[in-house]
Chain A
């Protein structure tokens, strides 16, 4: 589903965010991306959603090279990717309904179809009763769930999440992750960037680790923990 081939990204000014990163996430897979702040997680996600372009190498989604995508086509690419952000990126002066409906309005659905789908999506994230609220009146966890409802409203085959549990307590974080698991079971590929190692530790998912722009581990979270602990022992 997502394939990186020897991808490097150097920002203007010389800061090297990614160095020769390669990996492949299969369709229908759920994977985590982790690493310290500044390790390059956000840059990697931005390359997938074409907010940035790689300096060297190719990023492919479903076999299509994103380097071949023209600036005018980017909007259509983003309609295939549900994106969830740590800062939620909600429109604070619009109701929950309007926020969740936005992707459908952009794609030109009828009012009837929009109402039907928004209701279903809000039902899924458990916010059916907040449909008329403004996001500002909701808690952090609820705002994040509005963001998730918006990301899945047009049934994208791929979900990207950048620190989706960033400001949430462990119980709420787990609820959010369970939501992602539900989507994954419905066949959606899910790729989550997080530095919440405790969260990953409780699950058996493939985990990619970045360190100063390099991919240092790629494997099941259990293997990775063993490596981490053995590394720690080595250091000791």
Chain B
């Protein structure tokens, strides 16, 4: 409705009556503007490709790091389950006492499996594996104590839970030394969480640069269309109408940048696959590298589009207002 002239229909909003028609026209108008923004990018392929390339690479780096951390976590998750506690018994512990301890321990809810390795058996094994066979024959008595291997249930296999269990086991009368080799595991976990934080920091910095890049590109777009904006303002275009195509341009930049990043990550993984296969052959373990799954891909696309929108929004807020007919 016109402000100055009561009853004067202004624009299609007043002349179109039904609500569904209004809603339909709203979406048609937006779709038209979105497509025309895409056409604008298409018409300046070199400049657009450079911008999109920079955005793509900026998003590729955090994407790749994310995959590295995720895979490292997956591999180490397998190791964490294997934590095992070795209990070395006192020398004076008799066979029967050891058996009794075994029985008691197997009733504990934290424990999955208990294996008893008598001293004699352990010595035999050591003889075989170490190659000190003859030297050991000179010993007066067996230096190896009886050992009980305790495998915690999966619930108690984590570093802290396993440590608690170890403390409890140490209190048993027959146990001389309890050993849980999880220090390296804890270090690995600490390292992984540091790496995760690093990825977050790098991602934040690069996201900031994406906003700046898009903001600056949109600023240049606005300045190059100065004359057009002036004419549009003269014939009654609102700021938001003028801003909309630039916002869509930002969204397209974000989306296309994320697609470039996706393709780059896929190529990187493909490239690295043979060397990963070599490593997994060395460790006799099948390491499957997981790429970007659907969820991660959606997050990446969403982030990138949001960044594009944010960058262009900051830019249009400042610069469209500045251009006024004089």
Q: Which A residues fall within an 8 A CB radius of B?
A: 46, 49, 51-52, 61-62, 64, 69, 72-73, 75-80, 83, 85, 89-91, 102-103, 106-110, 113, 150, 154, 157
Q: How long is the Cα–Cα vector from A75 to B25 in the complex, in angstroms?
A: 21
Most A-side CB within 10 Å, residue of B228, B232, B235, B238:
B235
Cβ-based interface call for B2 (8 A): yes
Q: Which among A51, A52, A90 has the highest number of chain B CB atoms within 10 Å?
A: A51
- Chain A min CB distance to B302 (Å): 29
> What CA separation (Å) do A76 and B3 show in the bound complex?
7
B237 close to A109 (CB less than 8 A): no
Q: Which residues of A contact B233 (CB under 8 A)?
A: 75, 78
B10 at the interface (CB under 8 A from A): yes
Q: Is the CB of B324 within 8 A of A69?
A: no
CA distance A73 to B8 in the complex (A): 16
B324 x A80 contact (CB < 8 A): no
- Are B10 and A107 closer than 8 Å at their CB atoms? yes
**A-B contacts besides A46-B326, A72-B239, 17 pairs, CB < 8 Å:** A49-B234, A64-B4, A75-B238, A79-B10, A79-B235, A80-B3, A80-B4, A80-B10, A89-B234, A102-B232, A106-B235, A106-B241, A107-B10, A107-B12, A107-B13, A108-B12, A157-B5
Chain A residues, Cβ within 8 Å of B239: 72, 75
Cα–Cα distance between A46 and B326 once the two chains are bound (Å): 8
Q: A78-B235, A108-B13, A110-B25 are in contact. Are A51 and B325 (CB under 8 A)?
A: yes
A154 and B12 alpha carbons, distance in the complex (Å): 11
Report how far A89 CA is from B230 CA in the complex, Å: 9
Count chain B residues whose beta carbon lies closer than 8 angstroms to a beta carbon of A. 27
> Looking at the complex, which one of B4, B5, B29, B235 makes contact with A108 (CB distance below 8 Å)?
B29
- Give Cα A76–Cα B235 distance, bound, in whole angstroms: 9
CA of A157 to CA of B8 in the docked complex: distance in angstroms? 9
Interchain CA distance A108-B25 in the complex, whole Å: 8
B5 contacts A80, C-beta separation under 8 Å: yes
Q: Contacts A51-B326, A106-B241; is A69 near B3 (CB within 8 Å)?
A: yes
- Min CB gap A112→B, angstroms: 11
Nearest opposing residue in chain B for A52, CB measure? B326
A214 to nearest B CB, angstroms?
A: 23
Please state if B4 and A61 are interface contacts (CB–CB under 8 Å): yes
Would you list 24 pairs from A and B whose C-beta atoms are within 8 A, ordered by A residue?
A: A51-B324, A62-B5, A64-B4, A69-B3, A72-B239, A75-B238, A75-B239, A76-B10, A77-B3, A78-B233, A80-B3, A80-B5, A89-B234, A91-B228, A102-B231, A102-B232, A106-B237, A106-B241, A107-B13, A108-B11, A108-B25, A109-B12, A110-B12, A157-B8
Asked if residues B12 and A78 are in contact (CB atoms below 8 Å), the reply is no
B236 within 8 A of A: yes
CB-CB < 8 A to A89: which residues of B?
230-231, 234
* Residues in chain B within 8 A of chain A (CB atoms): 2-5, 8, 10-13, 25, 29, 227-228, 230-239, 241, 324-326
Distance in Å: Cβ of A50 to nearest Cβ of chain B: 10
Question: Shortest distance in angstroms between B247's beta carbon and chain A's nearest beta carbon?
Answer: 16
9 A-B pairs with the lowest CB-CB distances in the bound complex, closest first: A107-B11, A79-B236, A78-B236, A108-B12, A75-B238, A109-B12, A106-B237, A103-B235, A62-B4
When chains A and B are docked, how far (Å) is the Cα of A85 from the Cα of B325?
12
Q: Which residues of A contact B232 (CB under 8 A)?
A: 102, 106
B10 nearest CB across to chain A (Å): 6
Q: Decide: B11 and A79 in contact? CB cutoff 8 A.
A: yes
Closest to A46 in B: B326
Residues of A within 8 A of B235 (CB): 78-79, 83, 102-103, 106, 150
User: In whole angstroms, what is the CA distance A90 to B29 when docked?
Assistant: 23
Residue from the set B8, B25, B236, B238 with the largest chain A CB neighbour count within 10 Å: B236
A61 to B8, CA, bound (A): 14
> Is there an interface contact between A64 and B11, defined as CB atoms closer than 8 Å?
no
Chain A residues with CB under 8 A of B2: 76, 79-80
A62 contact set on B, CB distance < 8 A: 4-5
Q: How far is the CA of A157 from the CA of B10 in the complex (A)?
A: 12
How far, in angstroms, from A89 to B237 measured CA to CA in the complex?
15
Report chain B residues within 8 Å CB of A69.
3
Give the complex CA separation of A106 and B11 in angstroms.
8
A90 (CB) vs chain B CBs: closest residue: B231
B231 to nearest A CB, angstroms?
Answer: 5
- Nearest Cβ in chain A — how far from B321, in angstroms? 9
A148 to B29, CA, bound (A): 26
Q: How far is the CA of A49 from the CA of B234 in the complex (A)?
A: 8
Q: How far is the CB of B152 from chain A (nearest CB, A)?
A: 68
Nearest CB of B to A78, in Å: 4
What are the residues of chain A within 8 A of B13 when measuring CB–CB? 107-108
Query: Which residues of chain B are within 8 angstroms of A110 by Cβ–Cβ distance?
Result: 12, 25
Residues of B near A78 (CB, < 8 A) are 233-236
Q: Which residue of A lies closest to B6 (CB)?
A: A62
Residues of A within 8 Å of B25, CB to CB, are: 108, 110
Are the CB atoms of A73 and B324 closer together than 8 Å? no
Q: With a CB–CB cut-off of 8 A, which chain B residues contact A52?
A: 326
Specify the chain B residue showing the minimal Cβ separation from A102: B235
Max count, chain B CB within 10 A of own CB: residue among A62, A75, A109, A113: A75
